[in-house]
């Protein structure tokens, strides 16, 4: 909509009114002017006069924009004004980017131009008013640019790109300022971050300076952890060592502020340089604050990303690369090899007696040993080779650029074994560590990373099986065994899902009464094509791979459910004994799963006994006592299985909440003919009595064994002499046969 102001000549003719009007328009801080039809200034207020570098309105009178501005700007103004005059249509609140006539700097105006007509309605010129909105526009662009920088940080743009954008943002807000960001490295040196407007030669010269009390503005700011304002580089003693360099590039003042992490660590510096001698203005100080905060977020984020990436690819204890980096490096090495044709070998090193150190001296000592062994291995290989930690005490070494024969590999393996085998002292105790090593080589033993690692692993197992402390190259025969192992593993997994497992129960009998008081649950696997598979074949593999945890959960659940079923059928309550492997026991959630199973099956806790081996318990006695006591307080009993075969500390044994020792069948087997076994068996029975524990003999097959055990006051027995492991129905029949129930209804044989 056009808007025409009508001026009455009479009002503008009187001298008084003219003065009033003049005074009024001069008070307005905006640029106020009237132009004639040729776009010449007729009236201009004080603001217009000053901004164009004049002293009086008369100096502006009659001038056009072509007299005051550069041709391009003047042309723009002229066209707009001609159109307003011609059409009579006003231009309201138009944002214009113009070049200041005096300073030559860019600025922003908010302009309104309205056509002006005489009493007859004839357009005789225009009235214009412009407001300088440069400051507001800068604030808008600061906000927009800040948002862009934050978005870049969030989207993980490269740090250098983010920092450069930040510096440019600051420079766009200020006049005559060159921004600079330096990053502090771990060694106390400042390295280039971003300085897009500083001369490159200058940036290169200061890249890598060590921070210190008197090292220019940035080195000193990082060192002192506070802002350092140097108004005149030419005279300030902090710049003694860099004065000439700065002068060479026309830099006169430099104000630097440390960039601090949220924990207060110095991450780098943010500096503003200028070519004049001066201190920062308030706005410059404010922008510095904003920049250091933003830069800190960007740098911290990058450090966190680096840390996460390092953690994802390295072992935290030894700092060695881990499996994911191994696959990456090995794949790279294979690609290289395909081009240059030498061999690449994967060497898997497994420490033989690491568990002994860990179990006897604790995890801290175990960690120290792993670190020392990693160092020794690194010392044995070339810088182009790589040492990585796979898991626990298992390491992988990647040998690259090998000649095509096994001699070079063998030489390295000998060196490795010797280095690892050197005595080492931990907690004042000397150790001699041995290792088993398996090797596979590209291309003959596999053409991809996973196959080479699997085959080196299989070879390492062969070295272990061959008596440890040796190395083994991968062969076709190992390949066959490895495949069989993998097939078995896959079979166990499927077997769990397909319910191919079931339990047999072997009675445990009181020697005096001859009554069954408990049964041991023993796992059986009926493979769809291989038929019945002995637990001796699959339990060790299930333990090694952790599959024993779900399998053991199933055994526990089934054994408890079955025992409760017998009780619900009216049979005398007995105890069901369930084997527990180390992997289950180490699982932090296992105790709560035991209690939940009892709860869900409804079996009284007093009717469950858990069998733990000596070695399992002795691994970490304190932890074992804690877990056992927790479950014991709920009513669950514990037995030590295979007693006599491991190493038990008698003092530790005393502290264990154990109600039964199971004399291992290896001592029972030859009781008739072996004097030593008789001595051991008698000693175990006597030990049990002294520790207030029942002793049950395992594997009892003959009358002679029964007689010996009875004569030596053994409490209980289990073995083929009484019954082989049988089905649940078989147990039911045996229990029915030995009715009537105990008069008290108490659990048979349990004290
Ligand atoms: N972690 C788990 N281990 C389990 C589980 N089920 C079984 N096992 C362990 O597997 C090993 C072999 O068990 P199995 O073949 O069942 O052998 C047991 C008995 O059949 C056998 N036995 C019993 N009496 C006699 C005998 O008179 N003569 C003779 N030659 N063998 C006999 O002994 C095995 C029981 O041993 P133990 O557990 O030590 O009491 C074995 O180590 C099982 O522990 C399972 O669910 N989880």
- Tell me, yes or no, whether 242 and 176 share the same domain: yes
Q: What is the mean pLDDT of residues 716-735?
A: 96
Q: In ligand 1, which atom is closest to the CA atom of 543?
A: 1
Looking at 111, 132, 153, which one is the last position of a domain? 132
Confidence band of 311 (pLDDT split at 50, 70, 90)? confident
- Tell me, yes or no, whether 332 and 236 share the same domain: no
Structural domain boundaries enclosing 43: 5-132
Output the residue whose Cα is nearest ligand 1's atom 46.
Answer: 523
- Tell me, yes or no, whether 18 and 47 share the same domain: yes
- Tell me, yes or no, whether 295 and 399 share the same domain: no
Question: Which pairs count as long-range contacts for 617-622, CB under 8 Å and 24+ apart, including other chains?
Answer: 617/652, 617/656, 618/359, 618/646, 618/647, 618/648, 618/649, 618/652, 619/355, 619/359, 619/582, 620/359, 621/649, 621/652, 621/655, 621/656
Least confident segment among 243-252, 323-332, 669-678: 323-332
pLDDT tens figures, 626-657: 999 999 999 999 999 988 776 666 777 888 99
pLDDT at 746 over 80: no
Looking at 102, 132, 162, which one is the last position of a domain? 132
On whether residue 742 sits in a domain, the answer given is no
pLDDT tens figures, 139-177: 898 999 999 999 999 888 999 999 999 999 999 999 899
On whether residue 316 sits in a domain, the answer given is no
On whether residue 494 sits in a domain, the answer given is no
Give pLDDT, residue 357: 78
With residue 378 as reference, give the H or E element that holds it.
helix 363-380
Taking CA 435 as the corner, what is the angle to CA 459 and CA 380, rounded to the nearest 5 degrees?
100
- Tell me, yes or no, whether 148 and 86 share the same domain: no
- Tell me, yes or no, whether 563 and 583 share the same domain: yes
For 730, list phi and psi in degrees, rounded to 5: -60, -40
- Tell me, yes or no, whether 295 and 346 share the same domain: no
> DSSP for 108-135?
EEEEEEEEEE-TTS-EEEEEEEEEE-HH
On whether residue 203 sits in a domain, the answer given is yes
Q: 583 versus 701: which is more confidently predicted? A: 701
pLDDT at 51 over 70: yes
- Tell me, yes or no, whether 98 and 154 share the same domain: no
On whether residue 487 sits in a domain, the answer given is no
pLDDT at 470 over 90: no
CATH code where residue 420 lies: 3.30.70.270
Give pLDDT, residue 416: 92
On whether residue 119 sits in a domain, the answer given is yes
For 719, list phi and psi in degrees, rounded to 5: 160, 175
On whether residue 115 sits in a domain, the answer given is yes
Q: pLDDT averaged over the chain?
A: 89
- Tell me, yes or no, whether 717 and 571 share the same domain: yes
ipTM: 0.95
User: Ligand 1: distance of its center to the CA of 523 in Å?
Assistant: 8
pLDDT at 699 over 60: yes
Give pLDDT, residue 166: 96
Question: Do residues 315 and 389 make contact, with C-beta atoms less than 8 angstroms apart?
Answer: yes
> DSSP for 333-371?
HHHHHHHH--EEEEEEEEESSHHHHHHHH-HHHHHHHHH
User: Ligand 1: distance of its center to the CA of 522 in Å?
Assistant: 6
Question: How many domains is the chain partitioned into structurally?
Answer: 4
- Tell me, yes or no, whether 535 and 668 share the same domain: yes
- Which alpha helices (DSSP H) does 438-589 contain, by range? 449-465, 476-497, 535-545, 548-568, 582-586
CATH code where residue 54 lies: 3.30.450.20
With residue 655 as reference, give the H or E element that holds it.
helix 650-655
pTM, whole model, 2 decimals? 0.50
| SS3 category, 560 | helix
Give pLDDT, residue 462: 87
Question: Do residues 258 and 227 make contact, with C-beta atoms less than 8 angstroms apart?
Answer: yes
- Ligand 1 pocket test target in 503, 524, 535, 668 with most atoms within 8 Å of CB: 535
- Tell me, yes or no, whether 162 and 253 share the same domain: yes
pLDDT at 455 over 70: yes
- Tell me, yes or no, whether 535 and 651 share the same domain: yes
Give pLDDT, residue 4: 57
pLDDT at 419 over 80: yes
Tell me, using a 6 A CB cutoff, whether residue 720 lines ligand 1: yes
Tell me, using a 6 A CB cutoff, whether residue 555 lines ligand 1: yes
Looking at 97, 132, 167, which one is the last position of a domain? 132
On whether residue 746 sits in a domain, the answer given is no
Give pLDDT, residue 539: 93
In angstroms, the CA 668 to CA 721 distance is: 12
Output the residue whose Cα is nearest ligand 1's atom 47.
Answer: 579
CATH code where residue 571 lies: 3.20.20.450
Strands 608-613 and 637-643: parallel
pLDDT at 745 over 80: no
Tell me, using a 6 A CB cutoff, whether residue 535 lines ligand 1: yes
Confidence band of 743 (pLDDT split at 50, 70, 90)? very low
């Amino acid at each position: 909509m056009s808007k025409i102001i009508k001026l009455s000549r009479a009002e503008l003719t009187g001298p008084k009114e003219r003065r009033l009007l003049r005074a009024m328009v001069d008070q307005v801080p905006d640029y106020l002017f009237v132009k004639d039809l040729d776009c010449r200034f007729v009236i201009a207020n004080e603001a217009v006069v000053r901004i164009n570098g004049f002293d009086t309105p008369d100096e502006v009178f009659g001038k056009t924009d072509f007299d005051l501005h550069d041709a391009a700007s003047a042309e723009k103004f002229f066209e707009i004004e001609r159109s307003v005059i011609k059409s009579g249509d006003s231009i309201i609140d138009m944002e214009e980017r113009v070049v200041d006539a005096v300073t030559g700097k860019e600025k922003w105006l908010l302009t309104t131009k309205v056509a002006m007509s005489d009493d007859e309605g004839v357009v005789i010129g225009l009235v214009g008013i412009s407001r300088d909105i440069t400051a507001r526009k800068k604030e808008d662009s600061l906000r927009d640019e800040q948002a862009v920088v934050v978005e870049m940080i969030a989207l993980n743009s490269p740090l250098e790109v983010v920092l450069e954008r930040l510096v440019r943002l600051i420079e766009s807000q200020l006049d005559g300022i060159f921004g600079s960001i330096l990053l502090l490295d771990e060694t106390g040196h400042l390295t280039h971050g971003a300085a897009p407007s500083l001369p490159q030669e200058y940036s290169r010269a200061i890249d890598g300076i060590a921070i210190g009390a008197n090292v220019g503005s940035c080195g000193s700011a990082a060192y002192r952890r506070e802002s350092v304002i140097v108004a005149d580089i030419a005279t300030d003693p902090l710049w003694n060592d860099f004065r000439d360099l700065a002068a060479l590039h026309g830099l006169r003042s430099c104000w630097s502020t440390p960039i601090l992490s949220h924990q207060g660590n110095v991450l780098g510096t943010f500096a503003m340089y200028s070519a004049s001698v001066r201190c920062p203005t308030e706005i410059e100080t404010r922008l510095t604050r904003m920049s250091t905060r933003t830069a800190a977020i960007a740098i911290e984020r990058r450090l966190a990303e680096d840390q996460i990436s390092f953690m994802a690819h390295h072992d935290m204890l030894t700092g060695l690369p881990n499996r994911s980096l191994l696959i990456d490096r090995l794949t790279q090495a294979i690609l290289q090899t395909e081009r240059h044709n030498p061999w690449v070998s994967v060497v898997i090193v497994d420490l033989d007696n690491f568990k002994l150190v860990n179990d006897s001296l604790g995890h801290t000592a175990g960690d120290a040993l792993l670190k020392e062994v990693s160092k020794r291995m690194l010392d044995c290989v070339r810088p182009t080779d790589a040492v990585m930690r796979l898991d626990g005490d298992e390491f992988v070494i990647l040998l690259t650029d090998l000649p095509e024969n096994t001699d070079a590999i063998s030489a390295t393996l000998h060196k490795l074994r010797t280095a690892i085998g050197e005595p080492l002292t931990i907690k004042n105790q000397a150790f001699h560590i041995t290792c088993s090593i398996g090797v596979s080589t590209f291309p003959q033993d596999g053409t991809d990373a996973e196959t080479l690692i699997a085959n080196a692993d299989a070879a390492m197992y062969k070295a272990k099986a061959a008596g440890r402390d040796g190395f083994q190259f991968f062969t076709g025969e190992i390949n066959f065994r490895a495949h069989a192992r993998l097939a078995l593993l896959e079979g166990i997994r499927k077997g769990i899902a397909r319910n191919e497992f079931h339990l047999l129960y072997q009675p445990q009998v009181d020697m005096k009464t001859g009554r069954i008081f408990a049964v041991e649950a023993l796992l059986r696997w009926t493979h769809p094509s291989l038929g019945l598979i002995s637990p001796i074949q699959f339990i060790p593999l299930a333990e090694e791979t952790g599959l024993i945890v779900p399998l053991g959960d199933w055994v526990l659940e089934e054994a408890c459910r079955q025992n409760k079923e017998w009780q619900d059928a009216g049979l005398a309550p007995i105890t069901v004994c369930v084997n527990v492997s180390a992997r289950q026991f180490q699982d932090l959630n296992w105790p709560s799963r035991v209690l939940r199973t009892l709860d869900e099956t409804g079996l009284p806790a007093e009717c469950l006994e858990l069998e733990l081996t000596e070695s399992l318990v002795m691994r970490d006695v304190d932890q074992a006592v804690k877990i056992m006591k927790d479950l014991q307080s709920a009513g669950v009993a514990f037995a030590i299985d295979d007693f006599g075969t491991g190493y038990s500390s008698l003092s530790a044994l005393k502290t264990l909440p154990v109600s039964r020792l199971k004399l291992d069948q290896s001592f029972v087997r030859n009781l008739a003919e072996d004097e030593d076994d008789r001595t051991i068996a008698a000693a175990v029975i006597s030990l049990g009595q002294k520790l207030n524990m029942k002793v049950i003999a395992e594997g009892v097959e003959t009358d002679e064994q029964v007689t010996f055990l009875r004569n030596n006051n053994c409490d209980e027995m289990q073995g083929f002499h009484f019954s082989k492991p049988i089905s649940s129905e078989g147990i039911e029949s045996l229990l029915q046969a030995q009715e009537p129930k105990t008069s008290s209804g108490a659990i048979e044989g349990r004290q």
